[in-house]
Structure 1
């Protein structure tokens, strides 16, 4: 019954927001609502809420921003009306409706939560500040505010508002403090870095190059992610081959080789030897394909300035001291040409590593395949010629 109710609510709210919400709601929309519901689910499980309390939280999470279809200021009250109307039609008990209305009103930013459930929904509503995509989400809220208020905040003004908010914000539930506070602190540092970078650009009066933008950043992000995923796939394939061949060698050592002491089983020597050697060769090739390689070159500041190295890869900067590494990162943040050049080098060398891995994997699979075929043929042939007439 509860599952059906939640499904009906999800469908109703999604349709309501998608059809009636203003196009300028870049942040307060169905995506934000789903994220809040997901955060509520996580916190409610960690806080060991009862099924009834969890239901109330989830219903409130779905409805808490529906009032935006009518107004921004005081949308919580409108959300309460929408929730009350729908839940009453679904014959939801009055105590559950009252809990949902209480929790929706608790999302008002100026109020402090009075109990555990209010703390959970307040933390879930601000869960994006502990997200890995915080800056992207913040940009959507930035666009929404500028589109609706018409005051056109500058990027640095918006970042400073973010900084003030993050410094003044506190999570209320114990679970959010435990799992989200560290991520929030990291995002606070990211905002500080962004403010510093913007300030430095203004001081130097540098115009942003037209060839650098979100499209270029997306290209690098997607390509680097694809290369890393391909590398992980190659490592997985190599591990599979390692495991399979290790099992084959174990079986050969424990079952076949002890039988070779018997003169009547001498015809098994060559097939067993072929099987074992092909498995050993496959293991060696698999290990070679996954063996890491780290540079031994000592990186200098001159090399960074002249675009001769990439300190974004740990294999290059592991010999640098902390002070030089921090200088190098700051230099990259202040010089887009050098930064993108480092990303290009990273992409190129990842490609070389992938080329080596997949070449070795191809050889490994070939050795393994022919080894199995030849071994099987040898066993069949040996049994055939030694079969008593």
Structure 2
């Protein structure tokens, strides 16, 4: 690499570092280095004198410097910057003119006329025939978006790349055609395949959305579903709480009776403990009453567990409650459920009945449970008072 090319490389690096906006994710020093590398790749495989090679390398380094001034007219601005820099470096006018002509040839919609123009043009678009094409392409898309030029969707950008690779771009040099064209075709094939997959995916999503919309219109409203779900869950929780409380009372009273029978009853044979008889009997009776009520609160009701086809046809049976079908065969129950799910009103009626009767069961449980707690509380208070009264009377005697 000549000293002039090295100076130019440093000049471009400093220029981009100090004056190029950060939104240029593609047209930056990295891209310039890629173009220079591709240029050298072509030059190594072509017969050309050193002077012409230097012109191409200078053009590769300076061809995008105009982006620091004006994006729309960057080729013209690049030529101005190149001419100014090369004049400062005392480069002859012929070389400067050749570099300017090469930079002008990088305009995408133009046709290069000279071999130098074809080389720089192929080097500038070499990423089309490279493995890193998609990465470079994505940087360009982001650059356009950041600079508010155009925001492409993934589908739109895919279409744009396919159009560019298939219709707008071509390689000009023999080296590019022999070494980069095949990779370009592979990149194009991948884009087309990806477009087909994306098209199929979009079609599938459209069908899903269509059926989802149809199902949503035909299914119960979300508010109704939420109502039944929350109400049934709350009823079941309240039923569990009632059963737990009843079991606690049952256990406590069973322990109390066990302790009384094992400790107090044996002492009642002694005449000196006669004062304990009445309080003990009262205490045991209240405990037994509490146990009985606790059992009644949790005791399940037995239902007939059968239904007829007439019951299903008349919507008189609640198929959500096991007590209405536990004696039926599986085939009969499946038939009944199929009839149920085909009728939205029947589904609502069944859920409503289930909710209602759960409420009735809860009402019964909590009434008995309230009575049980009251009896247990009164029994404890009365028994303690009786123990105190009889103990005091025994002491006085």
Normalising by structure 2, we get a TM-score of 0.50
Give yes or no for contact 2:2–2:54 (8 Å, CA) kept in 1: no
Give yes or no for contact 2:20–2:67 (8 Å, CA) kept in 1: yes
Structure 2 CA distance for aligned equivalents of residues 136 and 30 of structure 1: 16
SS of structure 2 residue aligned to 1:112: coil
Structure 2 CA distance for aligned equivalents of residues 49 and 194 of structure 1: 41
> Structure 1 unaligned runs (5+)?
207-389
Alignment of 1:93-242 (within 5 A): 93-168=92-167, 169-205=169-205
Structure of higher CA gyration radius: 2
Q: Alpha carbon RMSD of aligned pairs, Å? A: 1.3
Matched, 1:16 2:15: yes
SS of structure 1 residue aligned to 2:190: helix
Structure 1 CA distance for aligned equivalents of residues 170 and 2 of structure 2: 32
Structure 2 CA distance for aligned equivalents of residues 80 and 175 of structure 1: 27
SS of structure 2 residue aligned to 1:205: helix
SS of structure 1 residue aligned to 2:57: helix
2:51 equivalent in structure 1 = 52
Change (3 A) 1:42 1:151: closer
- 1:150 positional shift: 4.6
- 1:160 positional shift: 0.5
1:28 equivalent in structure 2 = 27
- Between 191-200 and 170-179, the greater mean CA deviation after superposition: 191-200
Structure 2 CA distance for aligned equivalents of residues 183 and 150 of structure 1: 29
Structure 2 CA distance for aligned equivalents of residues 150 and 118 of structure 1: 28
Structure 2 CA distance for aligned equivalents of residues 151 and 120 of structure 1: 30
- 1:29 positional shift: 0.6
| Runs of 4+ in structure 1 over 4 Å off | none
- 1:135 positional shift: 0.8
The Cα offsets for residues 161-196 of structure 1, whole Å up to 9 and x where unpaired, read as 100110122111111111110010010011112212
Normalising by structure 1, we get a TM-score of 0.51
Alignment coverage as a number of residue pairs = 205
> Structure 2 unaligned runs (5+)?
207-397
SS of structure 1 residue aligned to 2:78: helix
